[in-house]
Every structure is written in structure tokens, then in C-alpha cells.
Structure 1
Amino acid sequence: MNIQRWIARRQAQWQELDILLQRSEQKGIKALTAKEIGTLASLYRSVAADLARANTNQIGQTIVQELQALTTRAYSQVYRGSRRQELREVLDFYRWKLPQVLRETWAYTTIAFALFMVGALIAWWFAWQDASFMSLVVPQSMIEKVRDRNQLWMGSIIGTEPFAASSIAINNLSVAFRMVGGGILAGLWTIYALFYNGILIGAVATLVGQNGLAYPFWAFVFPHGSLELPAIFIAGGAGLLIARGLLFPGRYRRRDALRIYGVQAAQLVMGIVPMLLIAGAIEGFFSPQEVIPSPIKYLAGTGLFILLILYILRRDRARGELQTSTGNL
């Protein structure tokens, strides 16, 4: 390879990249047009190849160092812009797209909630009709603590808040992911999980109600349950979406239906993860604290639930105005 001829042929592109980088470094990547950003990325790949060739052919150290500096600067600009764009897309998803998906799939979330409530009501009915039913669902140690000592079990969290919060969040995420994944089994596991969890909550609620502990029990549940339970219903709805694509593809081919409904289910999963992490932190650090009055806990839970509803109803005004103006044309 004729080194001097190769340098002369490639130097114009190196200089062009340097000029673009200077503008980007001084004024930010937004100072470049879309075409210039594309050119910068293309030149970065080209110069990176030149650096590899220079190293392979043992071209002078000065040239190698200049190319290294150039590629390092280009890498920083190209991928910093990419990371910013990715961050912007994530923020836009949680600000606008997720509420839209939650509204679009509300029917599936409602069905999940109904399955849970059917289980809870059945447990409530049988627990009042047959005292032996309780022992089939609720651990005996919990029954004895509530019935015989008239105590709740949440005090065990005190003193282990960080560990408890992380354990609770991991457990809730595991339950939610199993509900979503259960959709691939024609939704049978999702339906079972929702129904069983409803039975469990219904039995526990009946147990504390029968022993005069309903008020402090729900004071404990309200703060984190205002996010945790809706997240579980949303996860159940996501599993039912997958089952819908598998069993009832409608006008789509089954493969296309699974892809369409699977994307929505994945978006719902992205939504419930932060909800369950926040709920876990609240259940570990806030809900069990006896120094916090019960009315404050009820108020906190109600406030969080109202904020969740307002978030789901949140709409992108700019897009809404664009759709309205388009519809009026």
C-alpha cells in the first residue's frame, strides 16, 4: 500500500469529520442537520476502519494517534446523541404511550379484576359458612395469631425494612411475570393465578373482619395496595392479551395476532415494573409503621390511587390537537 497516496485520498474525509465534530462539540448535536448527523455517523465508521488499517499496516504513530483521537471524539458524539434519544423515547413512553396502552387494554384489565373478585367473594362466602374453610387457604400460624391473640402479622417487617421491601418487590414481580407468561398456556395459568390470589385475599380479609381487625388491616394494605393490586390486574390483562392472540386471532394470522397483542403485553409489563417497585418500597418502609396514624395511611393510599387514575387518563394534548385538526380537514 502506498501510504502517502492513501493518506492524501483519505485526509479530506478526516477533515470533514473534524469540522462536523467541532460544531457538535461547541453547540451540541442539535446544531447539525439530520443529513449532517447521518454524514457524521457514516464518517465515524469510515475513520474507524481507517484506524484499523493504519494499525495493521504500521503507519506512522502520528497518524494513528490522530485517527484515535478523531474516532474517540466521534464515538462520544454519535453514541451520546443515541443515548439521549433513547432516554427521550423512554420518557415519552411513560409520559404518553403507556397511559394510551392502558386505556386501549382496559377491557382485559377489567376481566382480570373480575376474576380476582370472583375468587375473593367465593372465599368470603365459604369462610362465613364453614369455619374449616379458612384453614384450607390461610396458614395456621396466621389464623392463630389473628384469632387467638387478636394481632396482625405486619410487625415482623419493622427493623428489616430494606430486606423486606426488596423481597416484597421481587415476589410481586415474580407473580406478575407468571401471570403474563401464563397467557401462552391459553391463559389458563393467568386465570388460575388471578382466581387463586382472589381466594387468598378474600379469606384473609374475612379472617381479620371476623376478629375485629379489619380497620388496621386495610390501613396497612391501602398505601401499597393502591398500586400493587392494579399492577397485578394489569399483568393479568397482559396475559389475557397473549391468550387472545393465541386463541382468537380474528382477522389476523395467528402469528401476526401474537405479535400485535404481544407488543401490547410487553408495554404493559414495562408499566407495572415501576409500579411494583414503588409498592414494594411503600410496603416495606411505610405501611407497617405503627407510628403513622391509620387515617394517614388511608389518605395516602387513596391519593396514590387517584394519581394512578389521573395518569391513565393523561393524554398527549399535542397529538390530540393534531388529530382533531386533521379530522376537521
Structure 2
Amino acid sequence: MDLDAYLDAHRAEWNRLDDLVRTRNLTGAESDELLDLYQRAATHLSVIRSTSPDAQTVEYLSTLVARARFRATGSRPLSWAVVATYLTRTLPAGLYRLRWWWVPILIGSVVAMTVVVVWSLNHPNTMTWLNNRYGQKYVDSSFADYYSSHQAQYFAFNVWTNNFRLALLAIAFGVFFFPVVWVLYENVLSVAQIAALMIGNGKADVFFGLILPHGMLELTCLFVASGMGLKLFWTWVAPGHRSRGRALAEEGRTVISVGIGLVGLLLICGVIEAFVTPSPLPTFARVGIGLAAWLGFLAYVFVLGRKAFLDGATGDLEDQSDRGTEAPVAA
């Protein structure tokens, strides 16, 4: 096919379609014309892709067709089927696909916390500094009182909003790398210092009894968010055969999808921290609830997520047409 001749023959139709897409209020006749031109442009795109896949032309038509499709059909209404697909395929598959980014962060952070705690306990000057910084009142009562000093529902809301703010900060600024490292550093060091302080003062049972019920899942969510942020950074650094814009768009859709799921998971953490952590239940029961929530998350990722991933889900939009049409690339 003579691509230049084909472009000259249909360019006027594409320009007209572009004008209609940009028009705010369409008449009935213009709406019919838009739909007709959209269908023609989709056919033209298919012909060009199969015969003379010029990258620039395909990219232009893909964008035009996607915009026209949205204008012609409108947004897809939310249904329980969409929600079910998201919860059973999109979210767990996205978490599973990104596991090599957040699992090493989880393991590395736990190791780092352990090293800081052991080092602090074996250095009297560090323990003296921690005791002076926090004070004996914090060890004796303030640490435990923090979890029951406010009404549970308000405390849960405040914890939830603070945690997903940190998570979204790690994701949103992940492309710049250093904000993610800073969020991780601040949280790992803070938990490790308080652990060393409490353990060094003979309050290990209080510390673990109050941290573990919500902390296992809560910190895991932070590590997931940090892993997604670093994934965005690496996508920007090494996009592969894709343009940086296209690579960030593709990974960004998955990150947004998983990020929405993290908001829900952190809500669960907030509820546990407000209602379970300070409850009069025995320590083993409170820790057991937290452990069950954490193991449930891991099963969600590595059982349901793995199954969905092997079935073709990636965490990106399920409908290929919603992603737009990709330009051809060299092998």
C-alpha cells in the first residue's frame, strides 16, 4: 500500500473527527457524524497497522481513536462486576507482578531494623541518648497510652489518613527516588529506635504486644508503596524499547490500581490499630488477629494474585481497548 497516498485520501476525515472531538456541545447530526468518522478511523488504523505500520501515524491515529471512542461512548458505569474483577484479578495480579520490588524492601527493612536494635542495645551511649530523648514516662505509660488516648473511630480515621498519606507520598514522588528512600529511612529508624528503647527497659512484651497486631500489615503496605515508587523511578531510568512517556503511563496505571487497593488495606490497619491493639484481649489473641490479617494479605497476593497473573492479568486495565492502541516497535 502507498502510505502517503492513503494518508492524503483520509487526512480530511481525521481532521474533521479531531474537530468534533474538541467541540463541547454537539448537535444530533454532529454526534452521528462523530460516530461514523470514529468507526472509519478505527478501520483506517487497522489497515495501516497490518500493511504499513508507520509508528508516527499509528500513534497519532491511536490517540485520535481513543479520544473519539471516549467521546462517543462516554465513561463506563461502575458495576459490581467491575469491582469484583478489580478485587479478584487486577489488584492481586498487580501486587504479585510487582513482588520483586516490594518483597526485597520488606526483607531488607526488617533486617535493617534488627541491626539497629541489636547495635543500640549493645552501645550504652546510644541507649542513654534514647532514654534522654523519649523519657521514662514514655517507656512506662505514654507508649501504651497512645493507642487508647482517643475515641477509637477518630483514632482509626487519623491513623488511616496519615498512613495512606505516607504511602501515596512514596508512590507519587517515587520517580524522583530520594523521597522514597527518605520515607523508608524515617519509618525504619523510628520503629527500630522505639523497639530498642522498650526492649532495653524491659518492656519488650509491651512493645511487641502493641506493635504487631497492626504493624505487620501496616508496614508491609508501606513497603509495597515504596516498591511501587522505585518501580516508577526505574521505569523512567530504563524504559526499554518504549518511550519514557509510554512506559510511565503503562506502569502508572498499575501503580494507581495498586495504590487504590493500599488505601483499603490501610483502612483495615487503622481499624485494627484503633479497636484491636488497645483492646483488653490477651496479647496472643491481639497478635493472632494481626498475624491472620498479614497472612491473609500474603495469600491474597501469592495465591490469588499468582493465579490471576498466570491467567493474563497484570494489574493494568483489563480491557485492552481502554489502554489505547500501542505503536509498533522494533524487535
**How does the TM-score come out when normalised to structure 1?**
0.65
Structure 2 unmatched ranges of 5 or more: 1-26, 32-72, 314-331
1:296 maps to 2:285: yes
Deviation at 1:95, TM superposition (A): 1.5
Look up the match of 2:159.
168
User: Aligned partners of 2:124, 2:306: CA distance in 1, in Å?
Assistant: 52
Deviation at 1:198, TM superposition (A): 1.0
Describe how 1:103-142 pairs up with structure 2 within 5 A: 103-133=96-126, 140-141=133-134
Deviation at 1:125, TM superposition (A): 4.0
User: Aligned partners of 2:247, 2:127: CA distance in 1, in Å?
Assistant: 42
Cα contact 1:184–1:242 (8 A) shared by 2:
yes
Q: Which amino acid aligns with 1:307?
A: G
Deviation at 1:264, TM superposition (A): 2.0
Cα contact 1:157–1:284 (8 A) shared by 2:
yes
Look up the match of 1:225.
215
Aligned length: 243
Q: Which amino acid aligns with 1:144?
A: Q
Deviation at 1:123, TM superposition (A): 2.3
Cα contact 1:176–1:236 (8 A) shared by 2:
yes
List, as ranges, runs of 4+ consecutive aligned residues in structure 1 with deviation greater than 6 Å: 135-139, 316-323
Cα contact 1:115–1:194 (8 A) shared by 2:
no
Cα contact 2:95–2:305 (8 A) shared by 1:
no
Deviation at 1:133, TM superposition (A): 3.3
Q: Between Structure 1 and Structure 2, whose CA radius of gyration is higher?
A: 1
2:252 to 255, 262, 265: 262
Deviation at 1:269, TM superposition (A): 0.5
Structure 1 unmatched ranges of 5 or more: 1-44, 50-77, 324-329
Q: Which amino acid aligns with 1:179?
A: A
1:99 maps to 2:92: yes
Deviation at 1:319, TM superposition (A): 9.1
Q: Which amino acid aligns with 1:181?
A: A
Look up the match of 1:32.
none
Q: 1:273 to 1:136 in 2, by over 3 A?
A: farther
Look up the match of 1:314.
304
Encode CA deviations 1:133-154: one digit per residue, 9 max, x unaligned. Answer: 357778834x42255xx34523
Cα contact 1:96–1:316 (8 A) shared by 2:
no
Describe how 1:278-289 pairs up with structure 2 within 5 A: 278-289=268-279
Look up the match of 1:251.
241
Cα contact 2:97–2:309 (8 A) shared by 1:
no
Q: 1:249 to 1:269 in 2, by over 3 A?
A: same
Look up the match of 2:169.
178
Q: 1:161 to 1:139 in 2, by over 3 A?
A: farther
SS of equivalent residue, structure 2 residue 211:
helix
Cα contact 1:161–1:285 (8 A) shared by 2:
yes
User: Aligned partners of 2:155, 2:248: CA distance in 1, in Å?
Assistant: 37
Q: Which amino acid aligns with 1:160?
A: Q
Q: 1:319 to 1:271 in 2, by over 3 A?
A: closer
User: Aligned partners of 1:178, 1:127: CA distance in 2, in Å?
Assistant: 29
Deviation at 1:216, TM superposition (A): 2.5
Q: Which amino acid aligns with 2:292?
A: G
Deviation at 1:247, TM superposition (A): 1.3
SS of equivalent residue, structure 1 residue 223:
helix
Encode CA deviations 1:189-209: one digit per residue, 9 max, x unaligned. Answer: 102211221111111111111
Look up the match of 2:68.
none
User: Aligned partners of 1:181, 1:249: CA distance in 2, in Å?
Assistant: 18
SS of equivalent residue, structure 1 residue 314:
helix
User: Aligned partners of 2:292, 2:246: CA distance in 1, in Å?
Assistant: 40
Q: Which amino acid aligns with 2:203?
A: L
